[in-house]
Amino acid sequence: MAYIEIEHLTKDYGKGQGIYDVSLEIEKGEVYGFVGINGAGKTTTIRHMMGFIKPDEGNISIKGLDATKSSAEVKRYVSYIPGEINFPGNTTGEEFLKEQIYLSGRGNWDRAKELIELLQLDATANVHDMSK
């Protein structure tokens, strides 16, 4: 079973806008990125994966969980940061990440530091100066 499985996902917003019959399987450990022009359906697909919207047709499972019916449980395994995020206050990346670890009750700072180093990020920078 794929870690993320999208089967015949469709969301019709009318006038030819939406996503139609999208299918995709991602195995554990694989990394994918959505690339496309504005309106291609990237955000709509991700919002379905998070359970924020319901599909007109098709389904999505993440780690064997129905992304629509079990969206709270799915959020224990995946996260989503929208492009229009508005970070609070005047804080550094490190401060923001530590607060998120504390508030979510998930993860740990040692692992965050490993990822910061691996991705060569400057966690001392102000979050408002960072690319989203």
pLDDT digits 0-9 by tens, 75-99: 888 888 777 777 777 889 999 899 9
Q: What residues contact 9, with CB distance under 8 A and at least 6 apart?
A: 19, 21, 22, 23, 45, 48, 55, 57, 58, 59, 60
What's the whole-model pTM score? 0.66
Residue 25 banded pLDDT, cuts 50, 70, 90 = very high
Map out the domains of the chain as residue ranges.
Answer: 4-74, 93-127
Supply φ then ψ for residue 57, to 5 degrees: -145, 160
CATH of domain 4-74: 3.40.50.300
Of the two residues 1 and 72, the one the predictor is more confident about is 72
Q: Max alpha carbon distance in the chain (Å)?
A: 49
Q: Does residue 6 have a pLDDT over 90?
A: yes
